[in-house]
Structure 1
Amino acid sequence: MWRSAGVRRLAVIFLLAFGTAAILLWAYSAYSADRLSKEWIARETAALGALAARDPALAEAWAQQLGAGDATPAEAALGRELAARYGIDGELDAALVPLAERRRSREWPLLAAGVFGLLASLLLALLRESRLQLAEVRGLAGSLESAVKENRPMKFRIYAEGELGLLAHQVQELSLRLQETIAQLNRDKDFLRDTIADISHQLKTPLASLTVYVELLQGGGVGPAEQDEFLRTCARELERMEWLIQTLLKLARLEAGSLPMQLERAPIAETVRAATHSIGRLAEERQVQIRLEGPVEPVHVPHDPRWLPEALANLVKNAVEHSPPQGIVTVAWETTPIFIRLRVTDQGAGIDARDEPHIFKKFYRASSGNAGGSGVGLGLPLAKTIAERHGGMLAAGRAEEGGTVFTLTLPLAQLPGS
């Protein structure tokens, strides 16, 4: 509670008010006592003068007694007995004691005015503090409403201490999280729209080919040899469509994070061999040699034994397709204290500088053309996504001796959240 600036202000105001009231009460008490003493002396001297006019000796004795100070208990008792004979006691009418009556008539209005002024000042302080707090709450609520409606950061900030400042901070955090959630939903919506558009666009060509071939087969105007050729072509198109759909779905699920990586510490050499083995037939057809270069000692790297070979296979496949006959594709790896670097190098024409910023975009085809293969432009984006899901990175550039080199960097220790 004391962290609140408003509570501290009210406490200071209350202390100042009560301190001021105590000082004023003390000053008034001193003033009233002085007035009472002077009035009492004036009344006593007047009574002494009246007595002196009647009996000077008795008046002189009375004056001596007044100056002598307090009487003895016996004398005080005798005085009370004598006063009682004339009706002078505690029940005496206040009107017969004008000194006490005048004092009461002055004190009560002043006391009432002082109490009223103190309460009024405290009430005004409370109202002012309440209005300040309410204005801040209204400003905070209005800023939050505008931020939600317009999907932008809150403009109204409260940097004060206390519960209101803590509430403002939490509301600001909630607003930022809400904006991030909305932004993520928009990204997901754009991603889904782009994925559907990519699939539909890539399926148009094979579907059109299948439609033409089916219509020709239904027409019956083709011979048996042509029918076999058309059926083989239809089978290839169906295989291509299946591969395309599976690759797109794989890439979409990886980018959406719905396929977690099952990392295991395993020798990287075995993974590289598994990846290159799957490309062995393609390399033989194109008369391209695949060469592996790595340290003799086993290097254990945390990676998913299902996904990382696919990423490497896509890189090797791309290198084989862009290498000339009798060319060599080199897969080399080396380690540092914190990561491992794998390089896939071909002896092709090399990547054009204009293509480097776009080489990992889906369906992007380099301006230098493609030597063969699917030519769709999904292998490299899939490899990059797999590398990033492993906590690594994938880069492309021109090799010093010519050709293109893809560099895959992976951490030697599993990163948090991987």
Structure 2
Amino acid sequence: MERLESGRARLAQHWRNPAVRNLAVILGILLILCIAFAIWYSRYSSAQLKQEWLDREAARVGLLAAENPEWAEEWIGLLARSTSPSPDETENGHRILERYGLDTAIRSGWLPVIGDYRNRTLWSLILGACGILVLAAALIYRESSRQQRTIRRLAVSMENAVKHNKPMAYRLYEDGDLGLLASGALELSVRLRETIEQLHREKAFLKDTVADISHQLKTPLASLMIYVDLLQDRRLNTDHAAEFLDRCRRELDRMEWLTLTLLKLARLEADALEMNINESPLQATVQEAVSSVSRLAEDKGVRIVVNAAPASLAVPHDAHWLGEAIANLLKNAIEHSPAGGEVALGWEQSNVFTRLHVQDQGPGIRAQDLPHIFKKFYRSSDSGSGVGLGLPLAKSIVEKHGGVLSVTDNPAGGTIFHLTLPLHPFPSSPSNLTEL
């Protein structure tokens, strides 16, 4: 539906309004009725005037025929004469009539034909005008009532949408300003419902997040309190004190990592994190990610195997953030791989995308857990040491690059994560799109 620009509307835009078209139809009908009434009344009035004139002349001829038949014949001859009287004859006749007071100053009531014609014309015009006005009022009232019913239905539907969060039950699809108003009201109600639903989802998410954070922080805090109480014991020897201090340090590191990861997720979800996406070699980013988890792999006894990357593999990405996403995938694979196992990292490239595979030799993911593994604080098993934030963070970072992160089971055992990045990503912000 075409939007009307602000300012004065053109005639064509006015004509798109059904109310304007209906009013034009009403005025056209009234005009036709007025013309038809004028034609009918002119014929009717002339016929009546002619009949009354003939009756008057017939009465005079009958009176003359009874008294002077020869004058009646002469009078009839004058009446039937087709030629127009000369100016002299007309002037002479007026002088004769003036002798008897029959001039232009005579009152119409003294001439019955003229009086009857005047009264008939007056009342016919009054009744005709009243009839046309009544018809015009009825048609305009009908059109106005239709518009009022439409506006009232829209108002009631909008009230239900605003106050009761219900979808608009009444929808109007037509051109013109009222159609634009109805379309805008429908769009507003849809956005309002989406906003309310989003607020409910965010409220539920905030509630769950607070509960999960409190649960995750409760364990390290309890451990810290116990270790602090033990350290305050003067009977504690030096070796135990060093061990307790090391455990306190690990718990503090865990709390710091949890807090920083939650802040990163919050910034990514709020679209408040700017990424410096440049076309650069992806293999260098992968090597940095492998280096960051090499110590964890050594402690776990897991070997990381990186297949040779295709030549000149350059992908638009932010090396820091994408490296963190790959590192989280590697950490997850290492944690779920058995000691002496292997984590393989492979490549796949086409003219449209580049895909990175991270494969482990763990027990795999159960089918009922697959739809939930990218949710915050979700853990498919107790074999890992994570808290369920690495995969959601990796997924948010990949999607910020315009890519897709997915997971499948490996028929040979284990799990395969697929990180797909487009070679020509779309703009991540709608403001960067060119408006057509």
Q: TM-score, normalised by structure 2?
A: 0.89
C-alpha distance 29-226 of structure 1, shift in aligned 2 (>3 A): same
User: What is aligned with 2:3?
Assistant: none
C-alpha distance 326-369 of structure 1, shift in aligned 2 (>3 A): closer
State the 1:360 CA deviation: 2.5
Question: 2:363 touches 2:414 (CA, 8 Å); kept in 1?
Answer: yes
User: What is aligned with 1:141?
Assistant: 155
User: What is aligned with 1:124?
Assistant: 138
Match of 2:364 among 341, 350, 353: 350
User: What is aligned with 1:179?
Assistant: 193
Q: How much identity, in percent, do the aligned residues show?
A: 49
C-alpha distance 76-211 of structure 1, shift in aligned 2 (>3 A): same
Q: Deviations over 1:196-232 (max 9, x none)?
A: 2222110101111111111122232322222222222
C-alpha distance 333-94 of structure 1, shift in aligned 2 (>3 A): same
One-letter identity of the residue aligned with 1:28: Y
Q: Deviations over 1:54-91 (max 9, x none)?
A: 55444433332222232112211221222222221111
Match of 1:74 among 67, 88, 91: 88
Say which SS state the counterpart of residue 64 (structure 1) adopts: helix
One-letter identity of the residue aligned with 1:392: G
Match of 1:273 among 271, 287, 302: 287
Question: 1:269 touches 1:298 (CA, 8 Å); kept in 2?
Answer: no
User: What is aligned with 1:413?
Assistant: 424
Distance 1:25 1:132 in 2: 31
User: What is aligned with 2:341?
Assistant: 327
Q: Which runs of 5+ in 1 are unaligned?
A: none
User: What is aligned with 2:78?
Assistant: 65
Distance 1:98 1:352 in 2: 111
Q: TM-score, normalised by structure 1?
A: 0.92
Match of 1:19 among 10, 13, 32: 32
Distance 1:146 1:167 in 2: 17
Distance 1:55 1:318 in 2: 137
- Residue 185 (structure 2) pairs with residue 165 (structure 1): no
Distance 2:172 2:388 in 1: 52
Question: 1:343 touches 1:407 (CA, 8 Å); kept in 2?
Answer: yes
Q: Deviations over 1:334-380 (max 9, x none)?
A: 2111111101122334334444333323333333723xxx4322222
**Superposition RMSD in Å:** 2.1
Q: Deviations over 1:100-149 (max 9, x none)?
A: 11222222222211111111111122222222211211111111011111
C-alpha distance 128-98 of structure 1, shift in aligned 2 (>3 A): same
Segment of structure 1 superposing worse, 284-293 or 271-280: 284-293
How is 1:217-366 mapped onto 2 (pairs within 5 angstroms)?
A: 217-366=231-380
Q: Deviations over 1:371-395 (max 9, x none)?
A: xxx4322222221221222222222
Distance 2:54 2:389 in 1: 114
Distance 1:270 1:66 in 2: 122
Match of 1:6 among 4, 14, 19: 19
- Residue 386 (structure 2) pairs with residue 375 (structure 1): yes
User: What is aligned with 1:210?
Assistant: 224
Distance 1:296 1:10 in 2: 73
- Residue 111 (structure 2) pairs with residue 97 (structure 1): yes
State the 1:36 CA deviation: 1.6
State the 1:269 CA deviation: 0.8
State the 1:310 CA deviation: 0.5
Say which SS state the counterpart of residue 347 (structure 2) adopts: strand
User: What is aligned with 1:32?
Assistant: 45
Q: Which runs of 5+ in 2 are unaligned?
A: 1-13, 430-436
Distance 1:316 1:146 in 2: 52
C-alpha distance 234-95 of structure 1, shift in aligned 2 (>3 A): closer
C-alpha distance 179-161 of structure 1, shift in aligned 2 (>3 A): same
- Residue 411 (structure 2) pairs with residue 397 (structure 1): no
C-alpha distance 203-23 of structure 1, shift in aligned 2 (>3 A): same
Say which SS state the counterpart of residue 268 (structure 2) adopts: helix
Question: 1:352 touches 1:368 (CA, 8 Å); kept in 2?
Answer: no
C-alpha distance 364-173 of structure 1, shift in aligned 2 (>3 A): closer
One-letter identity of the residue aligned with 1:266: S
Segment of structure 1 superposing worse, 346-355 or 117-126: 346-355
